[in-house]
Amino acid sequence: MSVWRMLLAVACLAACETGRVAPANSSDGQAAARARMVQEQLVARGIHDPHVLAAMGKVPRHEFVSERYQAHAYDDYPLPIGAQQTISQPYVVAYMTEQLQLTGDERVLEVGTGSGYQAAVLAEICREVYTIEIIDALAARARATLERLGYRTVHVRAGDGYQGWPEVAPFDAIIVTAAPDHVPQPLIDQLKVGGRMIVPVGEVNQSLVRLTKTADGVREERLLPVRFVPMTGAAQTPRH
């Protein structure tokens, strides 16, 4: 079976299991590039969740970067998106998404919308995505891109993600795509019991951390070393 046929089968399986068909247009001339990305960068490195593979094989990553970088959209590295921010490399997006262990009916909070790409990947899998971006221009651009591509279950807010989105909490899962030097307590408070959060933590030496909230507290797992842009706003306020 060809790589692309395999991805189509995975996509159909995910759509049938979740009862949704993704809005993104897969007839965009980049389907083969996405198939290679999924096989060579994700499957080869141990990403196996069929929902994640289907989402990564469908979301048009090139639509989330400027025309200057579209030829490199499916390459194995991050790309600039303006305002000194980047779109993470495909493997990191897939890995973080897989670590949330999504099943399809979750409400997910994302802190750090950036280009909107991670939100689109999440929207292919879960029921609803709430995403916050502290840089107004990036929030506006991401909202426009997501609306143009038909992602109606993604809600974009411009603001400081350190405080989360309390009006619509609690969340089944939270993903943070910028690095604070500590896990924000408001995000822990807005996570459901049984929910998971994935967040890069640290300044110079960062670790990707998964937290699972239980009735007795929070369990923390350090997954791998990473390098993300620092979380700004309230995250930079000295703690006493």
**Torsion of Cα atoms, 103 then 122 then 223 then 158, to 10°:** -140
- The CA distance from 41 to 54, in Å, is 14
- CA distances (Å), 34 to each of 10, 50, 52, 150, in order? 14, 15, 13, 19
Cα 116 to Cα 3, 4, 63, 69, 143, distances in angstroms:
26, 25, 10, 16, 7
b/e code 131-151 from CB counts within 10 Å (16+ = b): bbbbbeebbebbbebbeebeb
Residue 239: other Cβ atoms inside 10 A:
5
> Of the listed 27, 66, 88, 207, which one is catalytic?
88
Query: 88 catalytic, yes or no?
Result: yes
Helices (H) and strands (E) in the chain, counts: 7, 9
Q: Quote the tokens at residue 78.
A: 């991050």
Strand order in the sheet with 154-158: 154-158, 128-133, 107-111, 171-176, 191-201, 206-214, 217-226
Contact indicator for 106, 172 with CB cutoff of 8 Å: yes
The two tokens of residue 229 are 């842009």
Active site members = 88
